[in-house]
Amino acid sequence: MTRIKTKINVKKVGILLKPRATSEYHSVLPNLVSWLEKRKIQIFFSTLEEERIKKISKGLSSKVSYIDLISLHQKMDLNITLGGDGTLLGFGRLATKTSAPVFGVNMGNLGFITEFSKSEFFEELAIILNTKFSVKKVPLYKVQVHRNEKKTHEAFFLNDIVVSKNDISRIFSLSVENDEELIYNISGDGLIVSSPIGSTAYSLAAGGPILSPEVNALVLTPICPHSLTHRPIVINDKKAIKIKVPLKSHNVIMTLDGQEVAELSPRSVITISKSKTRFLKIITNPERTYFQTIKDKFTQGRRSF
């Protein structure tokens, strides 16, 4: 991950919403649209949101436009996600090196990579529209699945990929390699391969380490391994990781960022590599640091439910 300082002339802004939610936007969304309109900024939503926008506020439809998700990445000067980490991740998986920077607003409680709270973001947004601001460039990781040397699936993740069974409490085996060298054959409930920003998500809950986002690495975290020796491993992300599904393993799935799911056939080979051309530009909050966020969000017994 790298950090840059930049200044943009914002004329077009895209707004992304948390899937299926409506009630939490009744006040904040009309206020945001009005705030942007006063600054002569065009406002765009995904074409998938048109019906929901009408439910949130009938007066909004005439003030905004609708385009597809790829165009939000490529044609906007700035995108704003209103939701949580999942909202940002779902949109961010489509990012390319030319995508507009993303201003992530946390509408809930935990929010780790969404750096601005719903109570403060108007003030911070005003600063971003008028001065230079800091952006962190977070790499995407490419996942390719092959079977009998034929590619069957390709996708990207920001946080993690999880290979697991689509059955309850059924142990299965996986073979894991790095740069063609065997790391281990594991038996258990599955494996998490996590990026640095994803190290505080499922991997952490499964016993994996926290990685600073400045570290160029991936974490391999076994899920309930049926062994005393299979521990989480941190490896350099410059070389590809291969995960092989054995011949007799059925009902195996892979999940990307907890959102995108694909079935894996026996003898499938998953190759994970750091993308050289795709990354997400996330606007950083100058009032927050990484370790301060860890202390604020994960202090034992203080998270609200």
Catalytic residues: 85
Spatial CB neighbours of 183, under 8 Å, sequence gap ≥ 6: 176, 177, 220, 233, 235
Alpha-carbon dihedral 129, 93, 117, 195, rounded to 10 degrees: -120
Spatial CB neighbours of 121, under 8 Å, sequence gap ≥ 6: 103, 105
Beta strands in the chain (DSSP E): 2-6, 12-17, 42-46, 65-67, 78-83, 102-106, 116-117, 133-147, 150-157, 160-165, 172-178, 181-188, 190-194, 217-223, 233-236, 241-244, 252-256, 260-264, 269-283
* 302 φ/ψ angles, rounded to the nearest 5 degrees: -105, -10
Answer for the pair 208, 219: CB distance below 8 angstroms, yes or no.
Answer: yes
Orientation angle between helical segments 121-130 and 28-38, nearest 10 degrees: 20
Q: What is the 8-class DSSP label of residue 131?
A: S
Spatial CB neighbours of 135, under 8 Å, sequence gap ≥ 6: 3, 4, 5, 6, 101, 281, 282, 283, 284
Q: What is the 8-class DSSP label of residue 123?
A: H
Alpha-carbon dihedral 273, 275, 280, 284, rounded to 10 degrees: 70
